[in-house]
Amino acid sequence: MRPARSLALVIALAAPRGALAYCRMTAPRTPPGACEAGAPVAWRGASVALRVNARDLAVSADAGQSLGDLVRRSTAAAAQRWSDAACGPSLTMAGDVDAPLDVALDGRNVVSVNRHWAPDAYHRPGTIAFTVVSVDVATATLLEADVELNARAMENPLGRTFGDGAPSWGVADAPSVLLHELGHVAGLGHSLTRGAVMEPSMDVERQRRALTDDDRAGLCALDARGAVTGGCAAAPTARASWRGALCLVFILAARGVHAIVGTRRRAAP
């Protein structure tokens, strides 16, 4: 898919309808204070199953930080907070998987730790985490959402150390990061409201563990649409059995967020 067509598809899919938490950004293309125009997207069902990728979670002490318990605990807590909101899909935890990071559109919504982070359009330096949301452009239906955390390791010295205790310099707060990323999994883009969980930028040590009124209003704006039956203002692409799939990438960085547009075709780091 050529970049120009990819961007056109994102504009067709990206728009707030009411709450600011639904604003989808394509920074740095989007001017400050502005949102892209188009139609919102949503999951077809009321429940979304999440899985933690067991690959590279546990490592030896000299190879990096073992993250199994922290990632599982923080993912489950974030899923529960979004599920407890007045609106939106229920995010439920399913069993672990063991999968390479280049698996796309396999029907599973996976939270993974990446200890390699080879720089490319997805893996920007300084990034804490990102979410790839795959959308059927013919129906505006969310198909899959995958999260990657940028974990420090010997081969990835610029990655992040994660924690869940008191704020500590240089340590990313895992509950806050995963609460933000799971907001994208639920269907939300970035908010223009300062202090919202879905605000696009955050200090790496900042704790943001509770949903705001704006975050909940964004979910209710999705629910207010009813069932996803409409299409998008762009012709779908064809790709095997997943027809018309497009990936919107939401990247949470230490000092900002960039949304990178394109189909998910990359080699494993």
pLDDT tens-digit readout, 174-185: 999 999 999 999
Is residue 58 scored above 70 in pLDDT?
yes
Task: Answer whether residue 269 is part of any domain.
Answer: no
In a domain, 183, yes or no: yes
Query: What's the pTM?
Result: 0.79
- Residue-level pLDDT at 59: 87
Based on the structure, what is the number of domains in the chain? 1
Within a domain: 99: yes
The yes-or-no verdict on residue 264 having pLDDT over 90 is no
Q: Is position 73 within any domain?
A: yes
Whether residue 268 is contained in a domain is answered as no
Residues recorded for the chain: 269
Q: For 106-117, what is the mean pLDDT?
A: 94
Residue 55 confidence (pLDDT): 93
pLDDT of residue 121: 76
Print the domain residue range for 252.
3-262
For residue 228, pLDDT over 50 is answered with no
* Kind and range of the H or E run holding 183: helix 174-186
Which pLDDT belongs to residue 236? 29
Q: Is residue 50 part of a domain?
A: yes
Please check the confidence at residue 257 and state whether its pLDDT lies above 70: no
Taking the CB of residue 32, how many other CB atoms lie within 10 A of it? 8
Residue 267 lies in a domain: no
On whether residue 91 sits in a domain, the answer given is yes
Question: CB burial class (10 A; 0-12, 13-18, 19+) of residue 119?
Answer: exposed
Report the CATH number at residue 100: 3.40.390.10
* Helices and strands of the chain, counted as H and E runs: 4, 9
- Map tokens 């898919």 to a residue: 1
Is residue 220 scored above 60 in pLDDT?
A: yes
